[in-house]
DNA sequence: CGCTACGTTGATAGGGCTCAAGTAGCGTGG
DNA sequence: CCACGCTACTTGAGCCCTATCAACGTAGCG
């Protein structure tokens, strides 16, 4: 995931510490190709929203490490959370034990909306690496929102966007074959990073194949095969060590791959 | 293809007409078994929320017939909508033409949240029979909400609940085999009706098999086979005429069926 | 250095898709 | 009133995609 300075093999996470200068999230790395217009705009918007929250309400900064829970199903709902750094997964657990990753959240995204309706969370929010969230007392947020409409607007926008994104995930899962889901997943992941000012041509998967598969509704073997095929097609490249680091030369090519999966016309590039 | 004047002949739909007395939604039918405690509570809550909206803001009542659009993707977002009567589907269309039903909405549910984030709707909300929605100007809602916290609370609760429900759908689609999805779908449908004070032992599918399949991520043939199998197992019964009317003797049995699908232990009742 | 978790790849089986044929309900027009 | 066409639904047959099972390779770590 990250804009690691490629040389620093030891700790490649850009989310090293909260409060660091990377709140601005400059694009690092050896090949600092310019950020796309649209991405730069989004990056500024995200920063602006974070600033709005920070100056409107008293937030409590909470640092979480790998597998740390922001909240868990069953907990009483009192706070919403905004992600400052890190990546988080939202996991629901059914009564019979099925587990499902229902969302992946990045800097600027909110966590905890599920708790509003019943005053109780119905899923877990779990850190996928070291990260920082800002805890916002819901009551305080509403109070501040009354005086400052922009704050309420940001809240509503975040909830609306979450609804829209969840629907897009559902669409992918329902209409795409397995390999296309993997490609679409990488495309979305790269897109999310790009809009946060991070480089997208070199990303480190913080998710296991099993987690990706769970999120996409396929098995881990299918994810592995999908990634191998994408690599064979030249759409992605694995770094030398380990198979967690992925280079995506051309993100747009992933979209084309998804389309090719949908149209039965055989393409020579497709194995 | 329009809202045929609802088949003047046998029309057992509980969603007969907007504005009719069924806004209170009494349980109809020959066997008026008492409503469950929990359902009765929910029914009152839904009515209370509708009343809150109606008395807090100036709503515009809009009657829609079969296939009528409450809003469409691309339209500028100006209003939210609350369903008074009828059933609505929310459909997203991908750039390449894939179509996906991403939600089913009933009395008391809200429509239009997707438009808040970008000021533009990114899906269609379509009536599945004759129904009535209340259009609420978003700006007016926010204004009224500032003076009346309960109104804002209802809005947030509705958005929160939508997020939670969408996640449950995702869980079903990702973790259940096809037949179990069909059973789970019927269970949820019956549950939604029950919480609105409608009888659940005799329901009329307003959706085609193709629509159900689209919603569940399977083909229409698979839905048909699933329903046939449920009928063979005695979990549902088809009415004499047509295969749209379904009786569900014991809704709880559907839950058990889902569990049986998940555990490989063979059960004699399973064909 | 063995242990464990993670990842890849192959073989096989099966669930669901595709294709196809047949039926039923319903509106239309003769 | 029936023929007709249309749409929706059911059911069967065959195949393909993906799950399952299994073996093996690799990285990280105490």
3-state secondary structure B194-220: HCCCCCCCEEECCCCHHHHHHHHCCCH
Q: What secondary structure letter does DSSP report for B20?
A: S
State residue B160's pLDDT score.
98
pTM: 0.86
A129-155 b/e (C-beta count within 10 Å ≥ 16 → b): bbbbbbbbbbeebbebbeeeeebbebb
Write the pLDDT tens digit of every residue in A1-27.
Answer: 333 333 333 333 333 333 333 333 344
Q: Which of A24-38, A63-77, B61-75, B114-128 has the lowest mean pLDDT?
A: A24-38
Banded pLDDT at A63 (limits 50, 70, 90): very high
B268 compared with B259, residue with greater pLDDT: B259
3-state helix, strand, coil in chain B (%, to 5): 40, 20, 40
User: What is the average pLDDT score of chain A?
Assistant: 86
Q: Which nucleotide is nearest to A228 (CA to C1')?
A: C8
Length of chain B: 271
A152 near B CB under 8 A: yes
Minimum-distance CB partner of B116 among A98, A146, A157: A157
State residue A32's pLDDT score.
52
Q: What is the mean pLDDT of residues A110-115?
A: 98
* Separation in Å: C20 C1' and A83 CA: 54
Write the pLDDT tens digit of every residue in A175-192.
Answer: 999 999 999 999 999 999
Write the pLDDT tens digit of every residue in B195-221.
Answer: 998 877 778 888 999 999 999 999 999
Mutate to test the interface with A, among B96, B98, B117 (most CBs of A within 10 A): B117
Closest to A202 (Cα-Cα) out of A66, A8, A21: A8
Name the residue of chain B whose CA is nearest to A96's CA.
Answer: B259
Write the pLDDT tens digit of every residue in B63-96.
Answer: 999 999 999 999 999 999 999 999 999 999 999 9
> Which tokens go with A29?
């790395």
A237 compared with B32, residue with greater pLDDT: A237
A160 near B CB under 8 A: yes
| pLDDT score of B30 more than 80 | no
Banded pLDDT at A240 (limits 50, 70, 90): low
Q: Are A84 and A129 in contact (CB under 8 A)?
A: no
């Amino acid at each position: 995931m990250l804009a690691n300075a490629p040389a620093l093999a030891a700790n490649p996470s850009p989310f090293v510490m909260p409060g660091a200068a990377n709140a601005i999230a400059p694009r690092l790395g050896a090949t600092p190709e310019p950020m796309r217009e649209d991405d730069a705009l989004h990056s500024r918007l995200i920063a602006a929203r974070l600033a709005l929250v920070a100056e409107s309400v008293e937030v409590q900064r909470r640092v979480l490490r790998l597998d740390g829970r922001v909240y868990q199903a069953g907990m009483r709902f009192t706070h919403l959370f905004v992600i400052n750094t890190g990546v988080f997964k939202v996991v629901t657990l059914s009564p019979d034990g099925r587990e499902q990753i229902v969302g992946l959240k990045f800097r600027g995204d909110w966590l905890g909306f599920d708790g509003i309706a019943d005053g109780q969370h119905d899923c877990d929010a779990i850190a996928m690496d070291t990260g920082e969230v800002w805890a916002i007392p819901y009551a305080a947020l509403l109070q501040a929102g009354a005086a400052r409409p922009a704050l309420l607007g940001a809240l509503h926008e975040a909830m609306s966007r979450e609804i829209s994104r969840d629907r897009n995930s559902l669409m992918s899962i329902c209409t795409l074959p397995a390999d296309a889901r993997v490609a679409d997943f990488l495309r979305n992941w790269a897109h999310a990073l790009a809009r946060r000012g991070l480089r997208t041509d070199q990303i480190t998967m913080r998710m296991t194949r099993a987690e990706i598969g769970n999120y996409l509704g396929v098995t881990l073997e299918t994810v592995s095969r999908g990634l191998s095929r994408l690599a064979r097609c030249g759409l992605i490249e694995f770094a030398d060590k380990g198979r967690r680091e992925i280079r995506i030369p051309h993100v747009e090519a992933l979209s084309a791959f998804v389309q090719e999966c949908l149209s039965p016309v055989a393409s020579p590039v497709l194995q």
